[in-house]
Amino acid sequence: TDYGSSLTVSLPAALQPHQPFQIIVRYTTTDGPAIWWLDPELTYGSAKPFVFTQGHSVCNRSFFPCFDTPAVKCTYSATVKAPAGIQVLMSATQSSYLEEEGIYQFYMEYPVPAYLVALVAGDLIHADIGPRSRVWAEPCLLPTAISKLSGIVERWLTAAESLYGPYIWGRYDIVFLPPSFPIVAMENPCLTFIISSILESDEFLIIDVIHEVAHSWFGNAVTNATWEEMWLSEGLATYAQRRITTETYGAAFTCLETAFRLDALHRQMKLLGEDNPVSKLQVKLEPGVNPSNLMNLFTYEKGYCFVYYLSQLCGDPRHFDSFLRAYIEKYKFTSVVAQDLLDSFLNFFPELKEQCVESKAGLEFERWLNATGPPLAEPDLSQGSSLTRPVETLFKLWTTEPLDSVAAASSVDLTKWRTFQTVLFLDRLLDGSPLPHEVIKKLSECYSSQLDSMNAEIRIRWLQIVVRNDYYPDLYKVRRFLENQMSRMYTIPLYEDLCTGTLKSFALEIFYQTQNQLHPNLRKTIQQILSQGLNPLPAIDTTAVTTDTPAMVLEDKVSEATNGAISLRDVNVSA
């Protein structure tokens, strides 16, 4: 019922075929999955209320009446009235503001699917960072956003245009949202939404924004016609993202980021099992299932591997770039299925069609689409060995018994490493946890103080290692981290780890002390984690809670948590 119900409109019998007609639906919305209202204290500035929408994949039906399927595209216009001092933005090509009336007018002149209609309103100011780009953020965050992105977004757009043709949406603006934003980023046309928390992690910021830039071609201009083939947007966008990073940052950096993501893919594969149907590229969407539940690393990384395989069949990635430019030009502003892409590919390369590459034994296109399990082929990442080899070497030093290489391992200065090197190393330690106590003790002695000064993507992984290994000397850092985080991506994995192990009372204590700073949706999710395998948690007046209370609650109610669905703690991927 959160998503509303379908509306059937009977048309007049006298209406002629193809005769234009107009339907007016008068409606009001209540709280729904698409609309996120934030009290001032849930923003960074704590000055004014805030609201944003998140339409992907089928949430916007709770925002406005629409054909909520990616197969249907249309233009849209909107009129929004807001109090003085509240800036309103939408994913539109044109906008105007009547100050005396407090009314904003928006118009999207190109057809888009319903999920790409987006609105945000709050205490937002802007600065230009390029000839066709600006950043919007709360006043306290704007200087950081400018320093991180000024000048380089245009560089990414220019690189993308050189590969895939003109950027068709006019402006490319970015709005940084409060930490309650439920995902990392969303490719709303003309106005990318991105969580402010990512600002401190430079390399993740680069990858996340470039991925959304790539969606301007793959996903927004040409869209998957069905949610069962999300890889057509995400796999192609991931491929395009990596072509752009190769052009702007070099092949070694791209290979490092790819190795990090493919590691995560295999981690998820191990947890789900190779026969799990969600590992198919053409996954079957059962009635009543929210398509967002099918969003996983296979959509991105197995999809990427298939696209990369197609590019390798061409011999030169530049030839494949030419094909993708033609594909965009042919299908822009429409929605497609996989067969459209593959038929276009074979028609563009008739010599490959003559070789029957679509039927090559073990690598059949049909098998790529419908076989469960890992990708049938993966990219050659040897160009990244200068960055990945030190990670592999250090990991072996710490995990080879007997532990007599500590001196060599402790001489490695992680502050000199790239972020993706450090998170790749920590993820592999996470995979091997629990580690022998002597190892975790020495790791802490060598690296804990270094990691304290690094970004949240790195710190959360070290803290997960601390929790999974019950390393009590560093547990105070877990508390300190959670006391200062309001984002799903930096809270849920730690709470899941705490509740899977022996530290549930510690998790309860932190939650009762910090829950008022969390968005209600996030608060509910954490309550579900804390309640896993238990009786429902009681509502507690946190003003009366002492540090002893959670332990007393725990003593009465805790039993061993049951193993449920695969959770974020097992994936360690933020985008």
- Dist CA 516 CA 512 (whole Å): 8
Catalytic residue chosen out of the listed positions 172, 300, 304, 447: 300
Structure token pair of residue 198:
């990512």
Distance CA 425, CA 32 (A): 40
| Residue 442, both tokens | 């020495």
Of 212, 457, 496, 509, which residue is the catalytic one?
A: 212
Is 286 marked as binding a ligand? Answer: no
Give which of 313, 303, 307 is closest to 350, Cα–Cα. Answer: 313
The tokens of 170 are what?
């006019």
**Nearest-angstrom CA–CA distance, 163 and 210:** 13
How far apart CA 144 and CA 564 sit, in angstroms, is 40
The single-letter DSSP state of residue 27 is -
The answer to the question of whether 234 is labelled as a binding residue is yes
Inter-CA distances, 395 with 44, 399, 484, 486, Å: 38, 6, 30, 32
Let me know if 212 is a catalytic residue: yes
The 3 state secondary structure assigned to 343-382 is HHHHHHCHHHHHCCHHHCCCCCHHHHHHCCCCCCCCCCCH
SS3 string, 105-157, reads EEEEEEEEEHHHCCEEEECCEEEEEECCEEEEECCCCHHHHHHHHCCHHHHHH
The Cα–Cα gap between 53 and 33 comes to 9
DSSP code of 292?
A: G
3-state secondary structure of 300: helix
β-partners of residue 80 are 104
Name the β-bridge partners of 76.
108
Pick from 118, 112, 119, 115: nearest CA to 56: 115
Catalytic annotation on 300? yes
Does 215 count as an annotated binding residue? Answer: yes
Q: Which residues are annotated as a binding site?
A: 211, 215, 234
Q: Which residues are annotated as a binding site for Zn(2+)?
A: 211, 215, 234
Residues with a catalytic annotation lie at 212, 300
